Amino acid sequence: MKKRILLFVLAVVTLAACAPSGGGGTGGGGGGTVDVCNLSGTIDTQVTLSPTTCSTYNVVDDLTVGDTGKLIIEPGTVLEFAQDAALTVSGHGALVAVGTASDKILFTGASKVRGYWNGIIFNRANSFDNELKYVVVEYAGSERRWNTGSFGYYRTAIEVEPSSRLKMTYSLVRESLGSGIFIDTESYIGPDDVADGDFAHNTITANASYPVITYAKLVGFLDSSNDFTGNDAGYDFVRFSGSFEDIDTQTWQRLNVPYLVFREATVADGETLTIAPGVKLVFEQDAGITVHGAAAAIYAVGTPSEPIVFTGAQPVRGYWLGLNFDDSDSPNNVLRNVVVEYGGSNHGSGDEYGNVVVSSGGNASHQRIIIEDSVIRHSAHWGISVAQETAYTISNITYSDNVDGDFHLRP
């Protein structure tokens, strides 16, 4: 079993990490000299790191905040990680790293090389105290990790695993060998299911992969105050998967990068997905959004100067599925000042292929949709295909290059 290392003892303030029975420290076995600036092992009580104690804390091996631990890091503190070392927070343990605008907290590698150390991992760490504010995380992402959901292998500087909680604001993540942050399904980057600025004012830049990788259910937590630009070529997107859970009521804000949609996202019955003006959604091959259920809805209302764009990752007709409204009778189904293009891959059967499809599975008396002042183009099948019993308002549409035709009212 890996030894727990005595981190340090301050005479004035009692702050201690757990040690194995019989003592022991980084200087040797029981009774050895403890080097307070070299950290590793497990913290299972409250520990505070301060720049007045060590100009730099050297994390010489994996450092874990255990279920009963709390690691508080004061403004101006520097933690320098050995190769492949990680900081992991687990269970009810908490990491509170709150710097200031003038005294940021730095998590860095001992060598300034992308992927030198592993990163910060919240491993089912559900404490409401977990917070990163005015911190810099750089040169992480060494471990090639596996996501059992949608994404497969990936690297990241910060990982928020299922059931974990994290508030992150005013922070910088850079020079990761992978993504800046991976937020896994069923984790929390806000206290509830409503975005309230708990992931805001961050800059995630100069990373080898996407700034953020996450799931559709969590996209609404990403505040428009974040800056996600400046990553390696082709990666300035927030990439998310629609798999594994339905989308609850939320708003996808206009970010300074597009969203990249992987697989098919589904808006749950009784929920409304609102998409803000100016949002650009780019769909990977055969991805799409389905509105499923009588009370499910997409409310996507742009403006003439800030249209909402739904497009394919490649400008190829039929590259993605399109928008499918399935048995939805919600008055909130509104597409206004939108562009829908390059959709229409084989989404259903018969005539149920197109950029926008309103379908009935026989579970609702009729469907409902409003599409106005929009551009529908480059579909591999129909521009808009609507079931006959649909209550629809479709006006002022600019159609072009839709293979089967512009509008189809299915019998």
Output the pLDDT for position 408. 94
CA 402, 384, 215, 150: dihedral to nearest 10 degrees? -60
Residue 31 pLDDT: 32
Asked whether residue 246 carries a pLDDT value surpassing 60, the answer given is yes
Average pLDDT, integer, range 147-165: 89
Higher-confidence residue: 150 or 294?
294
- Give pLDDT, residue 190: 61
**Mean pLDDT over residues 314-334, rounded?**
96
Tens-digit pLDDT profile for residues 100-153: 999 999 999 999 999 999 999 999 999 999 999 999 999 999 999 888 777 888
Domain spans, the chain:
267-411
Confidence band of 351 (pLDDT split at 50, 70, 90): low
Instruction: Give the dihedral sign, CA 259/262/264/266.
Output: negative
The DSSP secondary-structure symbol of 320 reads S
User: Is the sign of the CA dihedral 36, 175, 209, 172 positive or negative?
Assistant: positive
What was the pLDDT predicted at 362? 61
Quick one: CA dihedral 327, 332, 336, 338, positive or negative?
Answer: negative
Distance CA 17, CA 65 (A): 10
Q: What is the pLDDT of residue 388?
A: 87
Nearest Cα residue to 3 out of 74, 71, 63, 57 = 63
**pLDDT recorded at residue 22:** 27
What is the rounded average pLDDT of the residues 284-299? Answer: 95
What's the pLDDT at 7?
41
pLDDT at 194: 43
pLDDT value, residue 41: 97
pLDDT at 193: 43
pLDDT at residue number 33: 39
Mean pLDDT, all residues of the chain: 88
| pLDDT at residue 30, as a whole number | 34
Residue 366 has pLDDT above 90, yes or no: no
Residue 230, classified by CB atoms within 10 Å of its CB into exposed (0-12), middle (13-18) or buried (19+), is middle
- pLDDT tens, 184-237? 988 888 644 444 579 999 999 999 999 999 999 999 999 999 999 999 999 999
Dump pLDDT digits (tens) for 62-115. Answer: 999 999 999 999 999 999 999 999 999 999 999 999 999 999 999 999 999 999
- The average pLDDT across 36-41 equals 95
* Token pair 């009778």 in the structure block, residue: 329
| Predicted pLDDT at 80 | 98
- DSSP conformation class of 363: S
